[in-house]
Each structure stands twice: as C-alpha cells, then as structure tokens.
Copies of this chain bind each other. A is one copy, B any other.
Amino acid sequence: MGKALSKSTKSRGEQAYSLLRHEIIRGAFAPEQPLRLAQLQERCGVGFSPLREALTRLAAEGLVTSEAMRGFRVAPLSLDDLRDTMETRTYVETEALRRSIERGDDDWEGRIVSSLHALGRQNERSHPDDPDSLAALEDRHRDFHVALISASGSRRLEQIIDNLYLGSVRYRMPSLGNLSSNPARDLMIEHGAISDAALARDAPHAVELLTAHYSLTAELLIQAHSDRLGRAANG
C-alpha cells in the first residue's frame, strides 16, 4: 500500500499526525504509555521535527500529554473523565440540536436522511468480529450525529462538539462490538426516532431522545470501563 505518496498535498508532518491519531484512537497504545521518538520515527518513517510537531498537535487535542524534557505519553483514561465528557457532550450537543431544528433548511434535512441511511447500511454489513467494519460503523455513527447538529450556525459549538467526540471515542473503541451487538438495545431504532423528531421540528422531544441516547451509551461505557479496570486490578 505504499502508493500513498501520490497525494503530495500531505506533508510528512500531516502523515505522521493522522497515523498516530488513528493508532491512538484505535487503542494500539496503552494509556499513559510513553511515546519514544526513536520508536515512532521508525514506525512513521519521518524525522524528529515533523514527529514532534504531530505530537504537539495531538497534545493540544488532548490525545497525548507532554512533560518538558520527559517527552510524550498517551493520554490517560479514567471513569471521571468519561462521565464528565459524556455529560458535557450532552449539554452542548442538545443546544446545537435545538438551534439546528430552529434554523435547519432542506440541505440539513437531506444530510440527516442520507447519513442515517448510510449508517443503516453499514450496520447491516458490519460484523462484531471484523474491526474494520466496526471502525467504518463508528465513522457513520459520527457522521449522523454531526449531521444532526450541522445547522446550528455556530462554528464554536461545532468545534467543541468535535473535540468532545474525540474525547469520548477512545472509551468506545474497545467495547464497540459489545455495544453494537447489545441485545437490550436497538441503536437503529434510537437513531431513527431522533431523526424523526428532528425532521418534525419537535425540539423538546428530539432533545429528550438524544439525551436518553447518550445517557444509555454513557452507562454502558462506564459499565464496560469499570469491568476492564476491575479485571486489570484483579487478574
């Protein structure tokens, strides 16, 4: 797959940045694991300068931490941060949803309908054992939620939402299979209901459904994360 050079619009720094970003999100590194420059240099095939730049950027995004003269580490995960992130996400996204319902035009409706459709299709063809299909499902999931709030008219809210999504996605990754195959839950029905309420311009109902959707997700993630911590401590 070495063809990637063709698209020369990407600097080496960009490349290193997106590669590391993906790997961290995928959970390829353990939380708090030190990220040694020499190692990464080999893995990414770039020199020190672009590497440091990529890591600096990731640090600003909250995916890694950096300490002067002691280099970079993968950012930690914690139950508190998970709770905080999901609560804040709910508070901010519900407002963006209200504004979108207020201001959304035909294009907005189109984006919701089409992203929901794409999510459904990917859901049919995804299998809990295939990581690639689950990653694709996660992307479609994100697209749908982005579409929902895409008419808020506030660049700032969009940026905040983007960053909060980033803060939550690492918690979801390890338990993606479990989440989407949870028998007590039909995600497509939940998403469909949110979409319906939004398109019907019923803001209170849409907000209620979105809040419930995130609350349930948060509960399951917190459950999964506590289990993982428990296993790590005992086993």
Contacts and interface: CB of A to CB of B under 8 A. Distances in A.
A132 interface: no
Contacts of A155: 81, 84
Contact of A84 (B56, B59, B156): B156
A88 interface: yes
Contacts of A95: 91
Q: Which of A10, A53, A92, A156 has the most CB of B within 10 A?
A: A156
A11 B53 contact: no
A14 interface: yes
Interface in A155-177: 155-157, 160, 164, 167
B68 A11 contact: yes
Contact of A52 (B53, B81, B154, B160): B53
A234 interface: no
Contact of A61 (B10, B60, B84): B60
A6 interface: no
A185 interface: no
Interface string A33-46: 00000000000000
Contact of A156 (B59, B69, B156, B167): B167
A88 to B, nearest CB: 4
13 contacts: A53-B56, A56-B56, A56-B60, A57-B59, A57-B60, A81-B155, A84-B154, A84-B155, A88-B156, A88-B160, A92-B92, A156-B167, A160-B160
